Structure 1
């Protein structure tokens, strides 16, 4: 969904952990809270190989009074530790991102993982929404046992420094891909930025379908 943002952030006023206003939105992450080194509070670094590199790669920044997560040369995924979110009641996941630097050969450039369930081995079952350097928007790649399915929601590297907003119906996508209902509460949200890539992530919200 190629929606160019004229302003960094704006629109619906939303509150952490509760549905408010006409938009009925839940804030899943607003990137307000950070550790002493700038790493987002209540997030974990998933790789055990280079924990310090992962923390160095992801930092909360502020621009025009709005907070966002800046990722530089990460190549590793981070996940939110705890999330209380009913994907059936609030199926529409919204976030903003801005590509600042891309490196040839990196694919995908970045991704948001929506994990709505676990399998019988308690491995997260997720849909991966990606910013691809080369694949067209709408491309669906079926996942395997550990990879998850991938949907391209943003494509190309021609518009560096522009904020884009994405809206995806994670509940409908899950049922379409996995052919069953997700868990009553979503397992979590993860973020990854590719090696050499510099990209910013804005707040993530979930809202009721219109």
Structure 2
């Protein structure tokens, strides 16, 4: 597991990511899979091909999540969301592309927001066809590396970012979702991942950069 701040200089893990730009390098096409780059949005700014986990509060979700751009870089802004959204129509082989990378930037968090935000990687379903996921969280209080085992309806949780001091700072995350799944569930995931989803807590203002899967090499 690896994290580091993005402070205006480029870093590389098969995808070229800078504070102000995101684009794949020409020689990395076969080793990366862009799951979401937040380039496309609907008329109200909600990201294209995403859905709400809760059908009861769609209007709030559409208002909370908006695709935005800054200096040419696209990202998803989440403000006072309190609900999860999921990517539709995803085709991802987690064995070929086991490493999930993204960046996020906390702008505001109210006291008691726990976790602050999370990215879910769903690599399989159980016998009832309920997605089996690992939840990678930004925690206000728990130390990085903390693992909380999940239950029947709650996925296992791994803290990859902690604290609220670095407001306005982009952080890059790199996690091996394939290895984490096998370590936690003790079996191989499905040949095709079920999907990805995102959540931000109520009272939180946070931005999510593109989500990219890469080979382990």
Query: If the length of structure 2 is used for normalisation, what is the TM-score?
Result: 0.92
Contact 2:21 2:71 in 1 (8 A): no
Q: After the TM superposition, which residues 1-210 of structure 1 pair with which residues of structure 2 at under 5 Å, given as runs?
A: 1-7=2-8, 8-10=19-21, 13=24, 21=28, 24-210=31-217
Q: Which moved more, 1:41-50 or 1:124-133?
A: 41-50
Contact 1:3 1:166 in 2 (8 A): yes
Count of equivalent residues:
206
Q: Please list every run of 5 or more consecutive structure 1 residues that lacks an aligned counterpart in the other structure.
A: none
Shift of 1:48: 1.7
Give secondary structure in 2 for the equivalent of 1:86: coil
Contact 1:110 1:131 in 2 (8 A): yes
How far apart, in 1, do the equivalents of 2:134 and 2:20 lie? 25
List per-residue Cα deviations over 1:107-154 (Å, max 9, x = no partner).
Answer: 000000000000010000000000000000000000000011000000
How far apart, in 2, do the equivalents of 1:156 and 1:54 lie? 25
Shift of 1:2: 3.7
Contact 2:105 2:167 in 1 (8 A): yes
Give secondary structure in 1 for the equivalent of 2:56: coil
Query: If the length of structure 1 is used for normalisation, what is the TM-score?
Result: 0.95
List per-residue Cα deviations over 1:60-108 (Å, max 9, x = no partner).
Answer: 0000101000000000000001110000010000000000001111100
Contact 1:14 1:26 in 2 (8 A): no
How far apart, in 2, do the equivalents of 1:67 and 1:11 lie? 8
Stretches of 4+ aligned residues off by more than 4 angstroms: 9-12
Contact 1:12 1:23 in 2 (8 A): no
How far apart, in 1, do the equivalents of 2:46 and 2:23 lie? 26
Shift of 1:21: 1.9
Shift of 1:12: 5.8
How far apart, in 1, do the equivalents of 2:29 and 2:46 lie? 32
